[in-house]
Every structure is written in structure tokens, then in C-alpha cells.
Chains A and B, each alone.
Chain A
């Protein structure tokens, strides 16, 4: 009896000591869907993590886990990170949404931030970037640059984020080139270089001379380079190793300022559940250098569009727009509301094929 009590006491004391040690450092965890070396999505999130380390120095400790599959296993990985004493956990892929909310319910003192989701709780925030703003600019360049009028699009999963990107790129390609046609391949993966390369090759063989992608590796760039005469855009990361051609510009995710701000909020005790959705105006979405492979006038137009979006003068989803089935969506001059954009599950008029259900 005595021994048990002694041991319990010792364990308690140790636990308290451990907690005291943990308290002077804020521990920030990251759950990644791909390897940090993917050169795209996860690579940029990890750059954000490194920026947090650099900004706060000894005051923070960061941990991360790579290549966590979406779904049930994610719940285990997130739980483990919470048990390790993380104060703030960023889960950086859409498929982590339900696991994040589930784990958050079990750890009310830990703050969670889920990227690109829509479910929140008292200790769960969401954050995402308005990539569609960047895709509008890509679509514009693509529509101007294509000679075959066939643009290939490698899509990942049929979720609103991806569908929004396709619509935005299509609307702006069509605007400058009425003959343009989109060929879409659903890869059902965020990251599988061999499959992405095969998809890019299949699109190129069917006449596409512009490849847009919503998958994370640079394999499509490599395939385009091999085929020659095909242009691509960096996705999530600059992918500048393929510049100036085939990669002519890119959409860059810049998470660092957000990660630093949120870590600061946890340190100050001012963290609150928010739904952040920022774009070009705050720099969360960056446009990588438009290379000289793009004609001067097209480049100028693209930069003008970027400036207009940043200033809030132009919204990529501005009417008149119809849905694929021909029904009206946005009247002349109307702008899409965020709710519709966040839940987007339809193609706009002119796109062919069906969205996998």
C-alpha cells in the first residue's frame, strides 16, 4: 500500500516536472499527406514549419509526420501527436477533416488547425487559400498560349477545392479563347509520380499542349519536358527547376505567415477558432514568376488580373455564368458567395464529362 502510494506520488511528481518543462516551449505539430520532399504541397507546408522554427527560435519545438494516409490511420497519427504534448496541431490535407474533429473532441486543451476543410469546433480552426484566384491567372495564360486548343487537367479527388480550380481555370481560358477544350483525368491520388506522369503523357498524346495539374509532384512537368512543346504550371510550389519551359508560371502556397501568427496566438493565449480563407491579397496565394516563354502582352494581362484580384476589384467567379447543365448560376455582374464556392460540386457550362461521385 505504502509502496503503491509512493510510486504514485513519484509518478505524479515526474508528470508535473515533465509538464513544467513542456510549458516553456510551445510544441507545434504538423501532419503531412506526402513526403516533405514532394516538391509541391507538403514541401510548402514544411517550409512554413521551418519558418515557425526560425521565427520563434528556442521558444517553439516543432514535430511532424510525413506520408500519413487520409482516413482512419490519420486519427491514430493525430492522437499520437496530441499525446506527445503538442499544443497546436496543423493537419494539412482535406481527408484529415473528420479525424481532426474526432481527435479534437478528446483533447480540448490542444488547438487544431485543419487545412482546406469546413468543419470547426471550439478548438478546431480551418484555413485554406483561394487557389482559384491563382488558377484564373493560369487559365488566362493557358487559353492564350494553347495552339491545339486542348488543355489537359490532372485532377486529384472530386472535392470542392479541386472542382473550383477546374472551373476557375476553364472560365478564364474560355474567355480569351472560345475554342478551348478541357480534357480532365481524375487520378484519385494527391501524390503518385508514376500515375501523374502517365496521365500527363496520355493527355499530351491526345493533343493537349498545356497541362494543368492539381496533384503534388513534378512528374507532369518532367513528362511535358520529355514531350517537348507542352507548357505546365507549378502547383502548390514554384517548381522552378522546370522553368523557363515547360513551367511558365506557378501558384505558390505561402503558409509561413499564417503558421507564425497562429503559433503566436497560442503563446499569447489569444487563439480562437476561426475560418481563414485568404488569397492573393494577403499573399497566401503567390504567383510564381511568369517566364519569357509567355509573350509580353499575355504576361502583362496576367499581372493586371493579379493586381485586380489583389485589390478586390475582380472576382474570378463573376456572372454571367451557367452551370454545365445549362441552368443559370450567376447573373450578369453577380459574384459567387463563399458558401457556394466552398461546397462547389458542379462544372460550369462548357466543360464536358462528369464529376465522379
Chain B
């Protein structure tokens, strides 16, 4: 065992990379669930975003355009879910699961011509001066732009939900859609907007995997990240700050366990492999002891005649 071979600086830096896809997807799902909609299609939207972003980035040579396309792709797919659940009043759970399966199939189809191709590299934002600071430089100031987008989005979602009128309406719709409707808010419209936002965020998360973290396209490459994001929202008790904490914790332990293995720690590998899940759930369960609960209308179908 040689723990000194693990560099805390590099560990923290790669933690942020490992956490970003889950963070992006979970933030989107947080907003969706706060509006009272349970969309289990995160995995499907992520993988669709992964291929849309990859295809556009390869064809245009611009990773940023790729990310934009990923957001659009994810949102378009989530529109299908919005139509099913908000207009056709289909069951949320079944529609969400169907969306995941559909997204996995659709992405495999779209991606057929993109196997074995390398995407254009996404540059790192080496901020002058700041990135030269020992320790903090590499950890905080020399990432690709999407890491900062993830952080900024966390802040934005938190402010939006907590301190703005839009957030208030969104939460009202999620807590009691009948009351919100009686007050004159357009419940269906609010929810569709939230679903589209969730789809766009999931798409960004997927594209982060295919354009930066891996970077290449292969079928099924999100490998369950969408489900982890879903679980994270619940364990973070629908709070943006805790989603960030959970995502970084999960990403951190994931990277740490690989590093511990490489350093030859004498712990059985199976325990190390499950540790990200166990530790993240444990910490968030302990933190959610303040009885935060799910939005009251979560997963319930709304119709104005109700």
C-alpha cells in the first residue's frame, strides 16, 4: 500500500469532473420534481443528449455548439414526456420508464455512424494567475467550462426556487396543483416548462460524458448515471445545495476508490466499488433528518376539471 501516491490536488480536480454529469442531470430533475412531475426518463434524456452533442460537435468542430445541441436534444425528448403526461394525462412512472427505453434505442440508432470517431477537444479554462496558485489553482481554476456551468446552475436553481416569483409559482404548482390552478396559475404550462428545463439539463450531463469525460461515443455509455441522478434528488431532499454536495460526494468517492485500488489498499475491491453508493446515501440520509419531504403533488396527474 502506498497512499502517498494519491495526490489530493489531482483527486479533488478529477472529483469535479466525475461529478459534473450527475450534478447537471440531478439539478434538472430537481426542478422537474419541485413542479410536481416525476420524470424517470433521465437516463434516456442523458444518452440522447450525449449523442446529439457528440454528433453536432463532430460535424461542426465546436464543443460549445455540441453542448447547445445536447440541451436541445434532451429538451426535445422530454417534450415527448410532457405531451404524454401533461396533455394525454398518462401515468408519470410508466411514461418516464418508457422515455428511458426509447432514449436508449434512439441514441443507439442516431449514433451508428459515430462509433470510433474522436470529438473535438474541449479546452480548459486556464484562468491566468488564478490557475497558477498552488493547490487551489489546479483544483478550482483550471477546468473546462461545463464544470463552472454546473456550479453556476446550482446557484441559479437555488436562487430561483428560494427567492424569485417564478420559483414560488413553481413550488406552488408542485405542492398543490389545485390551489395553484385556483389562483390562476397555468399548472400545465409551468410543468411543461419545468420538464423541458429538466430535459435540457440531462442532455448537458450526457454530453459532458461523451465530449469531455470519456470522450467518445459508444452505445449505452451513460451506464446508469441518470438513475444515480434520480436517486440523488430524493436523498438530497429536493434541495439544490444538497444535490451539489451529493454529486460531489458521489463523484469524489468514485474517484477515490479507484485511486485506493491503484495504491493497493488492502480492502476488498467489492467494498470499494460499492462505497460511492453507500457513503452518499448515508450522508444524505443523515442530513435529511430535518424532515424535508417531497413536493405534495409529486407524480400526481393534473386536470383542470379535477
- Contact code string A214-228 (vs B, CB < 8 Å = 1, else 0): 000111001100100
- Pairwise interchain contact A205-B14, C-beta atoms closer than 8 A: yes
Complex contacts, A39 vs chain B, CB 8 Å:
115-116, 218
B254 at the interface (CB under 8 A from A): yes
B18 at the interface (CB under 8 A from A): yes
- Pairwise interchain contact A206-B219, C-beta atoms closer than 8 A: no
Complex contacts, A37 vs chain B, CB 8 Å:
111-112, 115-116, 218-219
Q: How far in angstroms is the closest Cβ of chain A from B171?
A: 33
Complex contacts, B112 vs chain A, CB 8 Å:
37
CB-contacts of A1-49 with B (<8 A)? 35, 37-39
Bound-complex Cα distance A203 to B222 (A): 22
- Contact code string A189-200 (vs B, CB < 8 Å = 1, else 0): 001111101110
Binds A, one of B5-13, B26-34, B175-183: B5-13
- Pairwise interchain contact B264-A352, C-beta atoms closer than 8 A: yes
CB closest chain-B residue, reference A197: B214
- Pairwise interchain contact A202-B259, C-beta atoms closer than 8 A: yes
- Pairwise interchain contact A186-B266, C-beta atoms closer than 8 A: no
Complex contacts, B263 vs chain A, CB 8 Å:
183, 206
Bound-complex Cα distance A283 to B121 (A): 37
- Pairwise interchain contact B116-A152, C-beta atoms closer than 8 A: no
Bound-complex Cα distance A7 to B258 (A): 63
Bound-complex Cα distance A223 to B212 (A): 10
Complex contacts, B254 vs chain A, CB 8 Å:
198
Complex contacts, B262 vs chain A, CB 8 Å:
152, 183-185, 202-203, 206, 208
Q: How far in angstroms is the closest Cβ of chain A from B62?
A: 18
Q: A183-B263, A185-B261, A203-B262 are in contact. Are A193 and B216 (CB under 8 A)?
A: yes
A312 at the interface (CB under 8 A from B): no
CB-contacts of A312-357 with B (<8 A)? 352-354, 356-357
CB-contacts of B104-139 with A (<8 A)? 108, 111-112, 115-118, 121
Q: How far in angstroms is the closest Cβ of chain A from B125?
A: 16
Bound-complex Cα distance A294 to B115 (A): 27
Bound-complex Cα distance A301 to B91 (A): 65
Bound-complex Cα distance A226 to B254 (A): 20
Complex contacts, B162 vs chain A, CB 8 Å:
none
* Most chain A Cβ neighbours within 10 Å, of B5, B14, B121, B261: B261
- Pairwise interchain contact A185-B258, C-beta atoms closer than 8 A: yes
Complex contacts, A353 vs chain B, CB 8 Å:
264, 266
Q: How far in angstroms is the closest Cβ of chain B from A149?
A: 12
B223 at the interface (CB under 8 A from A): yes
Bound-complex Cα distance A185 to B265 (A): 11
- Contact code string B33-67 (vs A, CB < 8 Å = 1, else 0): 00000000000000000000000000000000000
A67 at the interface (CB under 8 A from B): yes
Q: How far in angstroms is the closest Cβ of chain A from B292?
A: 30
A241 at the interface (CB under 8 A from B): yes
Q: A193-B214, A202-B255 are in contact. Are A218 and B116 (CB under 8 A)?
A: yes
B196 at the interface (CB under 8 A from A): no
CB-contacts of B175-227 with A (<8 A)? 209, 213-216, 218-223, 225
Binds A, one of B268-276, B280-288, B298-306: B268-276
A201 at the interface (CB under 8 A from B): yes
Q: A194-B225, A222-B216, A356-B269 are in contact. Are A201 and B14 (CB under 8 A)?
A: yes
Q: A186-B261, A241-B118 are in contact. Are A205 and B225 (CB under 8 A)?
A: no
Pick from B111, B259, B264: contact of A205, CB below 8 A: B259
Complex contacts, A185 vs chain B, CB 8 Å:
258, 261-262
- Pairwise interchain contact A195-B223, C-beta atoms closer than 8 A: yes
Bound-complex Cα distance A191 to B7 (A): 27
**Given A193-B218, A194-B209, A353-B264, 18 other A-B residues pairs in contact with their CB atoms under 8 A:** A35-B108, A35-B220, A37-B112, A183-B263, A188-B270, A188-B273, A191-B218, A193-B209, A201-B14, A202-B262, A205-B6, A205-B11, A205-B259, A218-B216, A222-B214, A241-B116, A354-B266, A356-B268
Listed A/B pairs (27) with beta-carbon separation below 8 Å: A37-B219, A38-B219, A39-B218, A183-B264, A184-B262, A192-B223, A194-B214, A197-B213, A198-B14, A198-B18, A201-B255, A202-B255, A202-B259, A202-B262, A203-B262, A205-B6, A205-B11, A205-B14, A206-B5, A206-B6, A206-B259, A206-B263, A217-B218, A218-B216, A226-B215, A354-B266, A356-B268
Chain B residues in contact with chain A, CB under 8 A? 5-7, 10-11, 14, 18, 108, 111-112, 115-118, 121, 209, 213-216, 218-223, 225, 254-255, 258-259, 261-264, 266, 268-270, 273
Q: Which 9 A-B pairs have the closest CB atoms?
A: A37-B115, A35-B219, A202-B258, A356-B269, A205-B10, A183-B262, A206-B5, A185-B261, A193-B214
